[in-house]
Structure 1
């Protein structure tokens, strides 16, 4: 493990040892896993690593391998949602998090929906990418069974088939990298068992019970999970909106990640100016800001009339850290007062 990599920890769910890790600071975002997630292998896969790093510029990112996947693979992936919900609860408890935004992709979405229904007090918001409610809706029974059998018989061939489905806009080099990544995360038998399980997930009984606000992000040309399935998720949740994005890549860390991440982080409360500063390049036609993204975020909350204690609770920081951010920003801006610094933030970044 490199020195800059987060350490892997374990939480006991009552039936499983669940691997998890965390990076970044701020309001927590829990990424709950999908078909064959793997904390170590995923971190080494550049598209995913970059995706998490972008979120960690603004949030504390908690990742986990659900039961049956990656470093939590003590048994086959459970086909019932209950063990997955219990695993998420155990990770939040172990991380000391009372409330988090859930960011889920693909088969992680039914789990996140079930968790939000069962533990509404623990969910701040839901961000669902490439979502579906029930695995039985993805394809006819015969087609689903044929793909499971192919994965079990020939992981080499099926991993290429899956890369074509998940990542159709990739270059040959990108597709080959994804094939290698898939095969590094699980054996053929484990992959087939996991696929069989996620096809069994059914969150339809839970959707109407979700009280948290949700955004459903879905790419128009997604071949793995059709847009109609994502629209059905948005319709089923009481407080949700559908955002249709261009592109065909299924996983949110492939393709146009900027548009997807901006939509997700904006929904979770990250200011537009902070998103621009968080990108690799400065926003066009704007001069670089003289203060950091975090300092700007704090000042914008000051402008809303919030105290240091209230800002600390909002951003999951200490009141001392908030005070330091305000003081540092004032010094950089040459602002004579807290109010003057806040007014500058509204004028230049709000």
Structure 2
């Protein structure tokens, strides 16, 4: 795993905060521009081919050379470079590009140091691609050995970035130590195709089916987090022969628009969409921090900053609105009653994004489901809180039982 900061000239490239700084001040760059620059800096001892950049930044999906050229131009502008001087980014004609700036600090292949001073183990994963039922390309990753554990796709993931991001890296790190942990970027997100013609709840359930079918999994436990919980419930109800056990965390049966009672709750549901429309692509993080305050209110400053970067990196403003529109109208109450496998439902008691009563409702709807209340108020569990240890212990005991 790479060290967070690489220094060259007056610039710092910080992969931990997903930030380029000049003389201590953040230089605004779009996510794909940052990715292009990060790949070039990491491979600075050689020329990086265009195909390598297409694979690393766009997941290998087809994009024209004009898209890459525009990102190179934007990276040069951010560095005060241009196509003539090429102080930092050199064009290797007919092949690709090479970073030629002098790096004065930074090591690129060490482990990340944990808050307690111990180095976190590097997570090794295999990223691959499959096709959804409608032909759209889906990216999935496999990490670890042992019995399989599949996580249904949920909002705001990026398979390559998640192993470094404080938002998700402990999920990948800890679960891959005990399981063959399988996860994927849902359509419109991360390394999966962003230009998705279909964007419905049924598309998400079908995408889960496409991933597990491509891996030729016969029977497996299924994990659903947040809105991915509803997807997992629907898949388990429709494929009772495939899901051995179901684990849900921060999940719900009814989206905000479905469960809204009265004008105040309906206005709150509509505000989500307006914030995404106005603030997602804005350089001012104030809009996006509203989401951070709901998802991880008990997080550290680093958690909030990482969540902000995660939002911008994982999907577009247009897709963020599409996601939120679909989330608001989720309703799996009927399907929940059809789940036949053993089920464990966990939910933070002070969850601000999805109040705990909706997790309790979901557990009540699923026959013989067991409910565990987790201490804290974070919708997405952070590495340092007691709820994460409880979640892992309960999950392990449930899957082993």
- Structure 2 residue aligned with 1:157: 286
Q: Equivalents in 1 of 2:356, 2:123: separation in Å?
A: 38
* C-alpha displacement of 1:37: 2.1
Match status 1:247 vs 2:376: yes
1:173-188 matched pairs, under 5 angstroms: 173-188=302-317
Secondary structure in structure 1 of the residue aligned to 2:253:
coil
Q: 1:82 aligns with which of 182, 196, 202?
A: 202
| TM-score, normalization by structure 1 | 0.72
2:156–2:310 Cα contact (<8 Å) kept: no
Q: Which has the higher strand share?
A: 2
Going by fraction, where is helix more abundant, 1 or 2? 1
Q: Which residue of 2 aligns with 1:42?
A: 162
CA distance in 1, matches of 2:130, 2:300: 39
Asked which structure has the greater RCO (Cα within 8 Å, sep 6+), the reply is 1
Please say if 1:223 is aligned against 2:343: no
Residue number among 158, 177, 186 corresponding to 1:66 in the alignment: 186
Is 1:261 the counterpart of 2:392? The answer is yes
Shift in Å, 1:200:
2.1
- Equivalent residue number for residue 14 of structure 1: 133
Aligned residues: 270
Summarize deviations over 1:274-320 as a string: whole Å, max 9, x none. Answer: xxxxxxxxxxxxxxxxxxxxxxxxxxxxxxxxxxxxxxxxxxxxxxx
Q: Which moved more, 1:111-120 or 1:13-22?
A: 13-22
User: 1:81, 1:114 within 8 Å by CA — same for their partners in 2?
Assistant: no
Residues 68-119 of structure 1, C-alpha deviations (whole Å, 9 max, x = no match): 2222234358553221111111111111211111111110011000000011
Give the structure 2 partner of residue 148 of structure 1: 273
Counterpart CA distance in 2 for 1:58 and 1:29 is 9
Equivalent position of 2:150 in the other structure: 30
CA distance in 2, matches of 1:38, 1:9: 13
What secondary structure, in the 3-state scheme, does the structure 2 residue paired with 1:163 have?
helix
Tell which deviates more after alignment, 7-16 or 212-221: 7-16
Paired residue secondary structure (1:71)? coil
The equivalent residue for 2:342 is 213
**Is 219-228 or 11-20 further displaced after alignment?**
11-20
| C-alpha RMSD over aligned residues | 2.0
Task: Give the 3 Å change call, closer, same or farther, for CA 14–40 of structure 1 in structure 2.
Answer: same
For residues 14 and 195 of structure 1, what CA distance do their matches in structure 2 show? 23
Structure 2 gap segments, 5+ residues each:
1-55, 57-108, 110-121
- Mark the CA change 1:48 to 1:36 in structure 2 (over 3 Å): closer, same or farther: closer
Q: Which residue of 2 aligns with 1:199?
A: 328
Deviation at 1:218, TM superposition (A): 0.6
**Is the contact between residue 220 and residue 227 of structure 1 (CA under 8 Å) also seen in structure 2?**
yes
2:364 alignment counterpart: 235
The TM-score, its normalising length taken from structure 2, stands at: 0.64
Q: Which residue of 2 aligns with 1:310?
A: none
